[in-house]
Amino acid sequence: MAFPKHQHNTKGSLSPVQIPRQTLLFFGCKEDRAGLVLAKRTPLQLSLNDKASIIFLDQPVGVGFSFDGENKTAVNTSDGAAKDVYAFLVNFFKEFPQYSRQPFHIDGVSFAGHYIPAIATEILSSANSGINLRSISINNGWIDPSTHYTSVAKFACGADPKYPTALSNEHCTSIAKSAVECQQKLQIAYNSSSSIEQASATYYCNKNILHYYETNSKKSPYDIRQNTTSPTGFFDEDILKTMPNKDGWFYNNLRRPEVVEAIGASKDFPFAGGLTTQVLRDFMNSGDWGKSLAPLIPGILAKIPVLLYYGEADVICNWLGGRDVVEQLQWPGQKTFNNASMTPWNFAGKQLGEYKTAEGLTFVKIDNMGHGPGSKHDPQRAIVINLLHSFIAKHGQFNV
């Protein structure tokens, strides 16, 4: 865990938790949202902890610097991870009661579409948690896999006219057929209680949709504008079985002794890597990867606001699938929300995207952004941080 405090007066400040994508633990949080540039060791001009105290939590056990000293069975489901996070937060606020009285928010990217609904539900169902949860927000979330798989097949083949098809007509026909088969397999598997069937359906969908897209389009699954020379391999079962943890310059910086000491990490359990493939395999094999967490969102909306924001160039968690997920939610505000039109989102005379909002639920499509904001050089990073500053400061009300 890392805890960069509010850079100014903490009285009355906000304290969001950033739940990062499981497989790109720090790339999706510390570099693009925190206030530090490791290469130069200088503060960024804009970061979330300008106006908030942030907890960066390495979870589930086995990612980042996290470890289980008692050698218990590894966590391999979102529900299991939520219980661990809840226990951590209860203890954190007991240790630091000055923060327990402040509004508390949860934000995350990608597989946080699984983590955050489970964590928020765990918190909100506990009457005496001592956690002042006010809202949640999810960036390009993997929430309802069946919907997301289908939307990948459509988005890759020109469903958004702004981005031309990334696949040939033949490949589009093939991936569309696979999407239908994927939905059928997921429905059968998740009507059963067999994690083996659920994992089998997940691996089929990953290989025949996500891996198929990567292999045949030569485009990134995280940004349709970016070319790639080879697929990531994350979505092919055979490749994933022997894939080592992924690293890069940012993650290597986190192994520097002075960094380990500064954040209070254990020297006995070194940083696991930027992508911990064993944890990824565990979540796929348990069936959690293909499970929909969308049914939890209506219960959350009954108590706190929810913001779902999507970069428009992402493929794997594209905005069309995100829109379908929110419009399919069964909740009292469904009709009002679905009848609302997408409205231009303008700031300082410039259109940044589109949004619609009703009864506590807000959906935002951000122009010219992929799976999430990039490093300090990405102009979309400032847009996301300003979006979160505004959403949190206005207690979940999206006003432009």
Residue 79's alpha-carbon distances to 19, 60, 302, in angstroms, are 14, 11, 20
Which pLDDT value is given to residue 360?
Answer: 94
Residues of the chain with pLDDT under 70: 1-51, 69-73, 237-252, 272-275, 374-378, 395-400
Which pLDDT value is given to residue 12?
Answer: 40
Instruction: Catalytic residue, from 13, 47, 110, 151: name it.
Output: 110
What is the reported pTM? 0.87
Q: What is the pLDDT of residues 183-200, one digit of tens each?
A: 999 999 999 989 999 999
378 catalytic? Reply is: no
Query: For the structural domain made of 15-145+289-393, what CATH number should be given?
Result: 3.40.50.1820
Which pLDDT value is given to residue 72?
Answer: 59
Q: What is the pLDDT of residues 45-84, one digit of tens each?
A: 566 666 677 787 888 877 777 777 665 567 899 999 999 9
Which pLDDT value is given to residue 36?
Answer: 42
CB neighbour burial string for 364-395, b if at least 16 within 10 angstroms, e if fewer: bbbbebbbbbbebebebbebbbebbbebbeee
Side chain identity at residue 64, one-letter code: G
Does residue 303 contact residue 124 with C-beta atoms inside 8 Å? Answer: yes
Domain positions in the chain = 15-145+289-393
Among 153, 168, 104, which residue's Cα sits nearest to residue 130? 104
314 catalytic? Reply is: yes
53 catalytic? Reply is: no
| DSSP annotation string for 140-176 | S----HHHHHHHHHHHTTTSSTTS--SS-HHHHHHHH
